Amino acid sequence: MSKERARRRAEREAERARAIQANEDRQARLARRRAVIGRLTPRPVRVRRPGGLLARRHRTQNVLVALGFLIVQAIAWLLWGSFFASFAVLVLSVLLVPVVVTLAFDRRI
C-alpha cells in the first residue's frame, strides 16, 4: 500500500511540476511579447500647458481679447440690425484686433 501511495504522490508532484513549468513558460512568453510590443508602439506624448506667471498672464490677456471681440460684435448686432453693418464691424474687428492687442499688451501676436 505504501508503494502505491508513494507512486501516486510522485505522479501528483510530477504533474504539479509540469503545471508550474507550463505556467512559467506562458509567463515568459507573455513578458517577451509585452517587451516587443512596448518597443514597437510609440509612447503617448503628454501635453501640458505652461503654468508659469507669464503663461497665465497671456491666457488672461487672450480671454480679455476674445471677450472684447465678442462684446463688440454683440453691440454692433444689437445697435444696427442689418447684416451689412454687422459684417462690416466683423471685418473691421478682425483687422483691428492685432493692432489693439499689440498696443494694449505690448506684445506681438
Residue boundaries of the structural domains of the chain? 1-47, 53-105
Angstrom distance (rounded) from CA 90 to CA 77: 10
Q: What pTM value is reported for the model?
A: 0.50
The three cell numbers locating residue 36: 516587443
Concatenated DSSP letters for 45-105? PPP----SHHHHHHHHHHHHHHHHHHHHHHHHHHH---HHHHHHHHHHHHHHHHHHHHHHH
pLDDT in tens, the chain (109 residues): 688 888 899 999 999 999 999 999 999 999 999 988 888 888 888 787 777 888 888 888 889 999 999 999 999 989 887 889 889 999 999 999 988 888 887 765 4
